[in-house]
Structures are given as C-alpha cells and as structure tokens.
Structure 1
Amino acid sequence: MSVKNIIFLVLLLFIPVSLAAHFLEWGELVVFITAALAILPLAGWMGTATEEIAVVLGPAMGGLLNATFGNATELIIALVALRAGLVSVVKASITGSIIGNLLLVMGLSMLLGGIRYKEQTFQPIVARVNAASMNLAVIAILLPTAMNYTSQGIDEVTIQRLSVAVAVVLIIVYALTLVFSMKTHAYLYDVGVAETEDEDPETPQHKPNVWLWSGILLVCTLLVAVESEMLVDSLEVATSQLGLTALFTGVILVPIIGNAAEHATAVTVAMKNKMDLSVSVAVGSSMQIALFVAPVLVIAGWIFGQPMDLDFNPFELVAVTVSVLIANTISSDGKSNWLEGTLLLAAYIVLGFAFYFHPVIA
C-alpha cells in the first residue's frame, strides 16, 4: 500500500470526529478543521473510484466520467456555499482553483520533477490548445466585470443574464474540448495514457468491480456533501477566529481542501518523469473549473435565486490573468525544469501574500 493511501486511511478517522464535533458542539473552529481534514481522503477515494469505473467503461465513456467528476468535490462545496449565500467565497474558490492548479500544482510538479530529471518534456501542441482555452476563460470573466465597471446604472439582473448567456457558451466550448481530446484529436493525448498503462504491466488484466466502485463513489459523494455542509456552516466564524478574510479563505484554503488528492497525483507522476500526465491533470483541472464548474455555478445561482454571476472582484481577475499568462509562457515550449517550477511557485506565494493582506471590502 502506498504512503498516500495510508495517509488517506488515517484521515478517514476525521469523519466520525467531525460529526462528533458538530453534534456535541465542540466549537466552529474544531468543526471547520476536522471537516476539512475529512474531505481530503473522501476526495481521494472519489478520484480512485472514478478511475476504476473508467477502466470498465472504456476510453470514451471513461474520459467523459473523469471529465465530469474531476472536480466533483469542489463543485459540491461550492454548491453548498452558494445555497448558504456565500457568493463571494464561491467566486473566490473559482479564482483560487485556477490559480492553484496553474501555479501551485504545476510549479510543484516542475520543481520536484526537475530536481530528479534535468529536463522534462510534454506535448507542446496540447499545451497551446490548453492555453487558448484558458485565454477564452479569462475573456469570459473579464467582460461581465468590465461591463459593470464601465457602465452607469447597470443592474444586477442584467449582469446575471449576461453571465448565464456566457456560461452556456463556456459549457458548449467545454463539450467541444472533450470531443477534441477524446475523439477527433485523441492521438495527441495518447502519450499520457500510454505512460499510465506502462507503469503497471498487470493493468490490462485488471478488471475492477464496477458495482463496488460505484457504491464507493456514491457513499463518498454523500459524505462529501455532509462534510461540506458542516464546513460551510462553520466557515465564517472559524476563519474570523483564525484572522482570515473570506477572500483569502476562498482563494487559498477551499481550493486546496477540494483538490488536494488531484494535486498529489500531478506531483507524484511528475516525479516519475511523466510530465505529459502531470500537465494534463493540472491544466485540465483549471480548464474544467473555468469552462464547466464556474458556468454550472452561475446557472445554479440563477436557479437558487442567489446573485451568482461572472462579475468578479477586479483584484481576483488580475490574479487569474497573471496566472494564465505566466503558465502559458512557461508551458508553451513543451519543456520544463526545476527553475521554471520555482518561478510558478514564487508567483503563487506572492499572490497568496497579496490575498492575505487584501483588505475586507464592506
């Protein structure tokens, strides 16, 4: 059993601990910390279950399943927060997920992989396609924000209608990226798949129990929903006790909690000199957040009657733009080394400090 699986098994103990903390009223801070720790292994098991089911379903349906459940944990947390009216936290978590995947995850992957291997390579064509998709995402969140700041007397309903229209376009684009990666240009992505299969010669004989893993996926999803409810309920009080703002919590803490398992996977495969797969996980997760999760949350906000739109805090927009720019610049040549990883991490740390010291906006 790998070290990661052992850690996840130990962290499962926080599920009953968090429930006890909630029902026995041990305090909002204890509930927040234990619920966050409980979500980490659940997210990991959800990812494992999705991968095992994908083996049985085949490349096409398996790829679609992975694309749908790739950020399920964070989507559940965001939906719970949205229903609770924490719109600013939800928007910040979208920003934080994009920044975290492009700078923190890819940076750690390039740094640790680059320390073991002098130079690592990945498909530059795929990097360019991903860069174009992320540029579209930046434009999509830029326009509603720009419209709000350049128009006099524009109302919230108009911004939300624009956001819903843009969200529909982004979801269509996301569907087309799936067709591109899994159908018309699947050969560009075959390197990562081949590397995964070569890692374990016994993989072709591996026949997962689809009903068992489906049950695990269902149970983990329900538990994540329960833990997310407790996490969100205790979030405002707990973070204020820690001296953190809602902006910092949404941008830094929530994405790390929701994506920790996926982050670990990207870094692990990079250290095995599988940068194609690592970059695919990091950038693919950012694309999924920008082109699928964010639009779904906008539409969900419209259904819930919450003012969720794509009108972001200008400071968040600057952070996303900077992250996409530096990530696209570093990954465009299809090569990486430890220094490039350090540059990405430095950018993430600088942005983290900026969000920490950013004043609370009334």
Structure 2
Amino acid sequence: MNLKNLIFTVLLVFVPISVLADALHWGALVIFISACLAILPLAAWMGTATEEIAIVTGPSIGGLLNATFGNATELIIALVALKSGVVNVVKASLTGSIIGNLLLVMGFSMLLGGLRHKEQSFEPTIARINASTMNLAVVAMLLPTAVDYTSPGIDQLTLQKLSIVVAIALITVYLLTLLFSMKTHSYLYDVGIAEEEGEGLVPEGKKPNLLLWVGVLLVVTVLVAIESEMLVGSLEEATKQLGLTELFTGIVLLPIIGNAAEHATAVVVAVKNKMDLAVSVAMGSSLQIALFVAPVLVIAGYFWGQPMDLDFNPFELVSVAVAVFIANSVSSDGRSNWLEGTLLLATYVVIGAAFFFHP
C-alpha cells in the first residue's frame, strides 16, 4: 500500500468519530473538522469504486460513469448546502473548484513533475479544446451577472429563468464533449484514471466483483451525504470560531475536501511523467464542474424553491476568469515545466489571500 492510500485508509476513523461528535453534541467546530476529514477517504473510495465498475462495464459505459461520478462528492456537498439554503457557499464552492483544479492541482502537477523530469508534454489538441470549452464556461457565468448589474430592479425569478436556459445549454455542451471524447475523437483521449496501475485503493490483477463495487459505491454515497449534512449544519458556527468567512470556506476549503483524492492522483501521475493524465484530471474536473455540476444545481434550486442562479459575486467571476486565462496560456503549447507550475501556484496563493481578506 502506497503512502497516499495509507493516509486515506487511516482517515476512515473519522467517519465514526464525526457521527459520535454529532450525536453527543461535541460542538460545531469538532463536528465540522471531523466531517471534513471523514469526507476525504470516502471521496477516494467513491472514485475507486467507480473505476472498478468501469473496468467491468467496458470503456463506453465506464467512461460515462467516470464522467458522471468524477465530482460526485462535490455535487453531494453542494446539493446538501443548497437544500439548507446556503446558496452563497454553494456558488463559492463551484468557483473554488474551478480555480483549485486549474491552479492548485495543475500547478502542483507541473511543479513536481517538472522538478523530476525537467520538461513534460501532453496532447496540445485536447488542451486547446479544453481551453475553448472553459472560455464558454466563463461566458456562461459572466452574462447572468452582467444582466443583473446592468438591469436595476430585475427580479430573482427572471435571473433564475435565464440561468436555467444557460444551464440547459451547458449540459448540452457537456453531453457533446462526452460524445467527442468517447466516440468521434476517442483516439485523442487514450489515457484515463483506470489505466494507471497501482494507484487504486485495491490490488489489481483480476476482474473486479461488480456487485461488491456497486454496493461499495452505494454505501459510500450514503455516507458522503450523511457527512455533508453534518458539515453544512456546523458550517456557519465553525467558520466563525475559526475566524473564516463563508466565502473563503466555499472557495478554498470545501473544494479541497471534496476533491482531495483526485487531486492526489493527478500529482502522483505527473511525478511518474504521465502529464497527459494529470492535465486530463485537472482540466476535466474543472469542465465537469462548469458544464454539469453547476447546471444541475441551478435546475435543482428551481424545483426546490431556492434562489440558485448563475449570478455570481463579481470578485469570484474575476478570479475564475484569471484562473482560466493563465491556465490556458500555460497549457496551450502542450508542454510544461516546473516554472509554469510555480506560476499557477503563485496565482492560486494570490487569489486565496484575496478571498481570505475579502470582508
């Protein structure tokens, strides 16, 4: 068992600890921290279960499963938060996920991979397609915000209806990207998480037990939902005790918690000189947040009567645009080195500091 898997296995102890903390009323801060630590290994097991099922079901269904469950933990946390009415935290977690994947994950991958291998290469065609798609995501976030700021007195329902139209367009584009990557141009996407041997939480060598892994996926999904309920329920009081704003928590903490396992995988494979896979994880996760998770939350908010739309805080929007711009600039040539990774990480630190001091 490698170090990454050992850490995630040890962290499983926080699942019963968080349940006890909630049942015995140990305080919001203890509940919040233990729930955060419990979600980390659960997210890792959810990813592993999805990959094992994908091996059995074949590349087409497997690719669809990975595309659907790639950000399942973040989606569950966001749905629970949305149901609780913490809409600003939900929006912050969406923008934070995009920023974190493009700057933090890709930055660490390029830095550590570049220190070991000097210069690494990846498929530039995919990088350009991802860049164009991320530009669309920025436009989709920009226009509802622009409509709000240029139309004094516009009501919330109108913005929500506009956001639903945009959400449907984004989901359509997401489905078309799946068609592109898994069918018409699948030869460009010849790397995937399931291909990286030895990175899972279980040993490879024989065909996985489908019923077992479906059961694991269901159990872990339920546990993530329970932990998310405790996390969201203790969020307001815990952040006050920690001296953090809800905006900073949503932008920085929640995305790291929900996607830590996938982030670790991207960095590990980059060090092994598989930058194609690392970039695929980082960019693909950002695209899934923008084209699938955010639209699903907008539609869910409409049916739940929650004011969820794509009208973001302008500061969040500027930060996403900056992240997309510099990530596209760095990845456009299909080559990377440690200095480019440092530039991405420095940008993330500056953005994180700005959100920390943002009132």
Alpha-carbon distance between aligned partners in 2 of 1:17 and 1:154, rounded to the nearest angstrom? 47
Cα drift, residue 197 of structure 1? 6.5
| Aligned residues of 2:80 and 2:228 also touching (Cα < 8 A) | yes
1:329-344 map, 5 Å: 329-344=329-344
Alpha-carbon distance between aligned partners in 2 of 1:12 and 1:116, rounded to the nearest angstrom? 32
Cα drift, residue 196 of structure 1? 3.3
1:184-263 map, 5 Å: 184-191=184-191, 196=196, 206-263=206-263
The C-alpha deviation readout for 1:169-222, integer Å capped at 9, x for no partner, is 00000000000000000000115579636999xx99530111111111111000
1:145-184 map, 5 Å: 145-184=145-184
Alpha-carbon distance between aligned partners in 1 of 2:65 and 2:210, rounded to the nearest angstrom? 13
Cα drift, residue 4 of structure 1? 1.4
Cα drift, residue 2 of structure 1? 1.5
Secondary structure in structure 2 of the residue aligned to 1:120: strand
1:268-347 map, 5 Å: 268-347=268-347
The alignment's TM-score, normalised by the length of structure 1, stands at 0.96
Alpha-carbon distance between aligned partners in 2 of 1:161 and 1:107, rounded to the nearest angstrom? 37
| Aligned residues of 2:51 and 2:194 also touching (Cα < 8 A) | no
| Aligned residues of 1:144 and 1:311 also touching (Cα < 8 A) | yes
| Aligned residues of 1:124 and 1:333 also touching (Cα < 8 A) | yes
| Aligned residues of 1:49 and 1:216 also touching (Cα < 8 A) | yes
| Aligned residues of 1:113 and 1:272 also touching (Cα < 8 A) | yes
Alpha-carbon distance between aligned partners in 1 of 2:20 and 2:197, rounded to the nearest angstrom? 42
What do you get for the CA RMSD once the two structures are aligned? 1.6
Quick one: which amino acid aligns to residue 257 of structure 1? I
The 1:205–1:315 alpha-carbon spacing in structure 2 relative to 1, beyond 3 Å, is same
In structure 2, the residue matched to 1:94 is: 94
In structure 2, the residue matched to 1:141 is: 141
| Aligned residues of 2:51 and 2:193 also touching (Cα < 8 A) | no
The C-alpha deviation readout for 1:6-53, integer Å capped at 9, x for no partner, is 111110100111011101011000000000000000000000000010
Quick one: which amino acid aligns to residue 182 of structure 1? M
Quick one: which amino acid aligns to residue 65 of structure 1? L
Paired positions, count: 357
Cα drift, residue 152 of structure 1? 2.2
Tell me the percent identity.
73
Alpha-carbon distance between aligned partners in 2 of 1:81 and 1:75, rounded to the nearest angstrom? 10
In structure 1, the residue matched to 2:111 is: 111
1:8-157 map, 5 Å: 8-157=8-157
Alpha-carbon distance between aligned partners in 2 of 1:9 and 1:198, rounded to the nearest angstrom? 15
Quick one: which amino acid aligns to residue 130 of structure 1? N
| Aligned residues of 1:192 and 1:274 also touching (Cα < 8 A) | no
| Aligned residues of 1:195 and 1:274 also touching (Cα < 8 A) | no
Q: Which runs of 5+ in 1 are unaligned?
A: none
Secondary structure in structure 2 of the residue aligned to 1:267: helix
| Aligned residues of 1:192 and 1:276 also touching (Cα < 8 A) | no
The alignment's TM-score, normalised by the length of structure 2, stands at 0.97
Alpha-carbon distance between aligned partners in 2 of 1:292 and 1:172, rounded to the nearest angstrom? 9
Quick one: which amino acid aligns to residue 107 of structure 2? G
Q: Which runs of 5+ in 2 are unaligned?
A: none
Secondary structure in structure 2 of the residue aligned to 1:25: coil
